[in-house]
Chain A
Amino acid sequence: DTGVSQDPRHKITKRGQNVTFRCDPISEHNRLYWYRQTLGQGPEFLTYFQNEAQLEKSRLLSDRFSAERPKGSFSTLEIQRTEQGDSAMYLCASSLFVNQPQHFGDGTRLSIL
């Protein structure tokens, strides 16, 4: 049984560059979530998908951020024109249904130079 998989694990980029992260949820999980975690804090919700439909976006998700889940399986999170404040751990989670526990991947650590 494979868990949630995220790629890459680490990304270092210069300010102003675009970055894209990928998340592969647990097979057959309908719900996929993206969270952001900064040092010393708990994860904060960014957005989630029910199959391929993006159902909610947090106010944390500025218009430089876009997420997709084109076939209801894997998801991508893209950040355009990265800023220093985007440095964080980006976590993906999935669950079978809406009120089921969410299982997390190991995250993508983004560092902006």
Chain B
Amino acid sequence: GQQLNQSPQSMFIQEGEDVSMNCTSSSIFNTWLWYKQDPGEGPVLLIALYKAGELTSNGRLTAQFGITRKDSFLNISASIPSDVGIYFCAGLNQGGKLIFGQGTELSVKP
């Protein structure tokens, strides 16, 4: 079946540092999404990518849809304490269901 591999699994960084995380797939996806989830809450959409090669920003967040359509990365610049949480990549398959990665847990030290 379709699987997404996210790396790293967890990151511990200092406030102000930049962060990069990525996601690879064994299958092609036509849409990639990045979500952030805080404890006890549902995932919140950060960025949606629709075209191979597309680079999209949302404030301090930048994400790219890989040319092969099998990978994506998310960068966070100048991290702040409220960036703490779990970041999930997800591929949207033909049927419209999301396939999620295992998540990257981000911890930010003030």
Contact = CB atoms under 8 A, between A and B. Distances in A.
A31 B95 CA distance: 11
Interface stretch (A13-21, A64-72, A74-82, A100-108): A100-108
B110 interface: no
A107 B90 contact: no
A48 B48 CA distance: 20
Contacts of B4: 42
A42 B101 contact: yes
A53 interface: no
A101 B88 contact: no
B59 interface: no
B97 to A, nearest CB: 4
A25 B30 CA distance: 24
A28 interface: no
Given A33-B97, A41-B102, A44-B100, A104 B40 contact: no
Nearest to A10: B40
A109 to B, nearest CB: 7
B100 A99 contact: no
A107 to B, nearest CB: 5
A95 interface: yes
B92 interface: yes
A91 B90 CA distance: 15
B50 to A, nearest CB: 8
20 contacts: A33-B97, A33-B98, A40-B103, A42-B101, A42-B103, A43-B100, A55-B95, A56-B95, A93-B42, A95-B96, A98-B95, A98-B96, A99-B92, A99-B96, A104-B42, A104-B43, A104-B44, A107-B41, A107-B42, A109-B40
